[in-house]
Structure 1
Amino acid sequence: MAALKYWVWLTTLPGLTNRSKLLLLEHFPSPEDIYYAQPEDLPPVEGLSSSQAALLSDKSTDRAEDVLARCAKGDIFLLTMQDALYPDRLRNIYDPPVPLYGRGRMPLFDEEAAVSVVGTRTCTPYGISAAEELGYQLAKEGAVVVSGLARGIDGASHRGALRAGGFTAAVLGGGVDVVYPAENRRLYEDIAATGVLLSEYPPGTEPMGSHFPVRNRILSGLSLAVLVVEAPERSGALITANTALEQGRDVFAVPGPIDAPNSRGSNRLIRDGAGLVTCGWDILEGYRSRFPHRLRPSPENLPPVPEQDSLPAQRAEESSTAKPEKKETPPALPVLDLTADTAGLTDDQIRILQVLTTDAPLLTDDVAERADLPIRRVLSALTVLEIDGYATQHGARRFVRTVEIRL
């Protein structure tokens, strides 16, 4: 906590740009060393003006202590660039955010096929439909869907990912404890419960127009690719696409009618070389070899099974004469006898064990519905059950029971 105080002190100094903070961190081992450095000890830092260096004379930690108190109260985590959970993908862009505040569960982004889905807020019904369907497909096929929780395309892509039972990350233009826009409150709560909300701005920061173009570099920085669903000629989504190209990310776009104003920007991206997308697998197929255990095509994207009579005659003959293989009987599951002793399990955990099956993975939402429990309590109980070896996860947010129970 003491070390975090100096990170927050540095990153909340009024007037100090993110780039200035990065330059200082290149010259000092830690923010604590910057805090205790005297003006005469400050080395000449290329790109840091004397007026910016003078800001370091403000040694008050009141702002930092207030931010840390908000984090503790609001169940908000703080990642610094020295933390293992801070993604290398993001650390290696030109202007990475020095801190990352978050609510929810931070995934290992470097091990995920993350795709940012962006587009205009003033979208058409076609754009909403395409964004939700593509968010659903990407999540269903194993990708993490990243977007900005704005109205329009952003919100639709998040909803699609959640509908698929997948993981989605929202990068905000204000503090992670500030819901914006208000109409997305329920979506905000769903993502906080099952995904992650991220921001470089401290808790309590109200969204400002200038924040959104800046946060776009984080959207693309966390991802392998950016998908533009619907964007007019002047659109923040095009800024994200250009930033993605500068970061070496892939850019894709959904085509739209040639006379539709909201599709002029995305159509132009395709004309200039962006990948044309009609389904999620158009994007993910290129990453399958890198993430073989993450990505799986939907049945409609699998190659057709050859007809029996199209097999060579020899293979067909061998197939007809071969002896059927003896199926192995799966080993019996261990028995958890709760008739006399609850084994330290809570009522919630026992109820969830009764709901789970040993062969058909259930989504956490379905578990919550069948157990008649709030999703937050279900997620907490499942975590403990998984640690204790009584349940295991199969894919994104799907669980099975690993023991037979007696009640």
Structure 2
Amino acid sequence: MSALKYWVWLSECRGVSNQTRLALLRHFGSPEDVFYADAGEILLTEGITREQVKALEDHNLDKADKILADCQRLSLRILTIQDAEYPGRLQNIYDPPCLLYVKGRLPAIDEEAAVAVVGTRDCTPYGVACAEKLGYGLANGGAVVVSGLAKGIDAAASRGALRAGGVTVGVVGNGLDVHYPYESRYLYEDIAAAGVLLSEYPPGTEPAKNHFPARNRILSGLSLAALVVEAPERSGALITAETALEQGRDVFAVPGPIDAPNSVGCNRLIRDGAGLVSDAWDILREYAGRFPEKLKQDGAKEQPAALGYQARQKAEPKPVPPSLDVHKSSLTDDQLNLLRALDAEEPALVDDLIEQTGIPTRRVLSALTLLEIEQLVTQHSGKRYTRAVTLCE
């Protein structure tokens, strides 16, 4: 634990880039040696600036001690780039994180067919269905699903993988105790229980715009391939695909309608050489020879009984409005005529009711007010009304 505080200190030095941290580690061997080095020694580090040397002269360890205490309180581990457990696949990218905060059980990623699944937050039901189906198929076929846990495609892919009972890895651009988006808080918990959550940001770190491109290099760096499920012309998912290509990873994409805005990015990736994916085996067949004991075609082609989005989309039976016997009611002629003119589902404007019934404006407004008090009509935004009862003539 005493050595870890120097790792945290180095990772939190403001103004010192990750590339500079890596250069310092190559030059000195450990963060502790960097901490105790004088300015003249530090200046010998390749690529370092005097401003960065100045930042490294701040030897206050209070922040590091607090972060370590937070990690202990939250049951988080710190994995450094020099630890044996640190994935070699990630270590070999251009800009690997010096340390990772870990919650859950990190699988031996280098021995797994890990696939990053990414896509737009503003997805369509088609995109959600594909993401859940492919996340399920990848996990059921023996792969590890890596996701950024963002709202939309990322979250749907993780849900699919969890439904298959597979191992999932979530990489986030905030502290592991900060749930972003908030509606994904239960997904965070499920992934920590079934797999692992990773972040290069300490506890308490709120999400920031520049965190997500940095996170993307970890997503693809942990994986053999990146799968883009749904992405418009300008999308963070396309940045992940580009990063994956730079890292020498394979890129796959799900095709969509040629006139669908959310499929423009995917269709272009396929046009430019990305693998076309219609089921999980389209990806896993590429790695079956490397992982013959782990990847299973039958499992990859199996589909969940009902996709999550389909279950959510099923319409709940609408309650039948209470009946109103016209002949036994004490309603006025104006009120009855308005009820007959109103629909139970499609709201009508007051002006339309006036034109349809021929009743003067003042009397229409008065009758509607009384009907609303009696809960026989429902008022909607824009002074529109629907009938709340079934008329029995």
TM-score, normalised to structure 2's length?
Answer: 0.76
- Specify the alignment match of 2:40 in structure 1: 40
> Which runs of 4 or more aligned residues in structure 1 lie more than 4 Å from their structure 2 counterparts after TM superposition?
299-302
**3-state SS of paired residue (2:3):** helix
- Specify the alignment match of 2:89 in structure 1: 89
Please give the residue correspondences for 1:88-107 in structure 2 after superposition, counting only pairs within 5 Å.
Answer: 88-107=88-107
Deviation at 1:197, TM superposition (A): 0.5
Structure 1 distance, partners of 2:103, 2:225, is 23
Structure 1 distance, partners of 2:8, 2:299, is 48
Structure 1 distance, partners of 2:23, 2:210, is 22
Which runs of 5 or more residues in structure 2 are unaligned?
303-393
Deviation at 1:188, TM superposition (A): 1.1
The answer to whether structure 1 residue 202 and structure 2 residue 219 are counterparts is: no
Structure 1 distance, partners of 2:286, 2:150, is 28
Task: Return the letter of the residue paired with 2:24.
Answer: L
- Specify the alignment match of 1:212 in structure 2: 212
Deviation at 1:40, TM superposition (A): 2.3
Deviation at 1:281, TM superposition (A): 0.4
Structure 2 distance, partners of 1:255, 1:40, is 56
The answer to whether structure 1 residue 137 and structure 2 residue 125 are counterparts is: no
> Quick check: which has more Rg, 1 or 2?
2
Deviation at 1:300, TM superposition (A): 8.2
- Specify the alignment match of 2:254 in structure 1: 254
**3-state SS of paired residue (1:55):** helix
The answer to whether structure 1 residue 10 and structure 2 residue 7 are counterparts is: no
Structure 1 distance, partners of 2:233, 2:213, is 16
**3-state SS of paired residue (1:287):** coil
Count of equivalent residues: 302
Deviation at 1:5, TM superposition (A): 0.9
Task: Return the letter of the residue paired with 1:27.
Answer: H
**3-state SS of paired residue (1:10):** helix
Structure 2 distance, partners of 1:126, 1:233, is 17
- Specify the alignment match of 2:244 in structure 1: 244
Deviation at 1:42, TM superposition (A): 2.2
**3-state SS of paired residue (2:293):** coil
* Deviation sequence 1:99-149 (CA, Å, 0-9, x none): 110111111100010000000000000000000000000000000000111
- Specify the alignment match of 1:228 in structure 2: 228
Structure 2 distance, partners of 1:155, 1:41, is 47
Structure 2 distance, partners of 1:239, 1:147, is 14
Deviation at 1:299, TM superposition (A): 6.2
Deviation at 1:181, TM superposition (A): 0.5
Deviation at 1:232, TM superposition (A): 0.5
Structure 2 distance, partners of 1:122, 1:300, is 27
- Specify the alignment match of 2:68 in structure 1: 68
Task: Return the letter of the residue paired with 2:63.
Answer: R
Please give the residue correspondences for 1:149-298 in structure 2 after superposition, counting only pairs within 5 Å.
Answer: 149-298=149-298
Summarize the Cα distance change of 1:186–1:300 in structure 2 as closer, same or farther, 3 Å threshold: closer
Deviation at 1:213, TM superposition (A): 1.1
- Specify the alignment match of 1:80 in structure 2: 80
Task: Return the letter of the residue paired with 1:236.
Answer: G
Summarize the Cα distance change of 1:204–1:232 in structure 2 as closer, same or farther, 3 Å threshold: same
* Deviation sequence 1:46-72 (CA, Å, 0-9, x none): 321110111111011111101100100
Summarize the Cα distance change of 1:135–1:44 in structure 2 as closer, same or farther, 3 Å threshold: same
- Specify the alignment match of 1:49 in structure 2: 49
Please give the residue correspondences for 1:325-340 in structure 2 after superposition, counting only pairs within 5 Å.
Answer: none
Structure 2 distance, partners of 1:8, 1:234, is 35
Which runs of 5 or more residues in structure 1 are unaligned?
303-407
Deviation at 1:77, TM superposition (A): 0.7
- Identity of aligned pairs, percent? 65
Structure 2 distance, partners of 1:299, 1:106, is 23
Please give the residue correspondences for 1:19-34 in structure 2 after superposition, counting only pairs within 5 Å.
Answer: 19-34=19-34
**3-state SS of paired residue (1:223):** coil
Structure 1 distance, partners of 2:297, 2:42, is 55
**3-state SS of paired residue (1:286):** coil
Summarize the Cα distance change of 1:119–1:71 in structure 2 as closer, same or farther, 3 Å threshold: same
